[in-house]
Amino acid sequence: MEAILKFNLPEEQPEFDNAVGGWKWSLAFWELDQHLRSQIKYNDKLTEEQYNTTQEIRDKLWDILKEKNLSFD
């Protein structure tokens, strides 16, 4: 199977950049998830409120990924 994406450059440069640079978005969100996970798991200086907020943000990140049918795999 083969897939070919065509862009009319330079008019569609932003769309092209998003298509070929999508892995950067994935990496950025993975790094954010890992940071949040680390804070939840290892930062014993978080208050209960900070812990809960951090967990809520991480849960929301995963909800958004699921809604968009995305994963880090």
Backbone CA torsion sign across 19, 23, 27, 29: positive
3-state helix, strand, coil in the chain (%, to 5): 65, 0, 35
Give the model confidence (pLDDT) of 8-41 as tens digits: 999 999 999 999 998 999 999 999 999 999 999 9
Rounded percentage of the chain residues whose pLDDT exceeds 90: 95
What lies within 8 Å, CB to CB, of 35 at 6+ separation is none
Mean pLDDT of the chain: 96
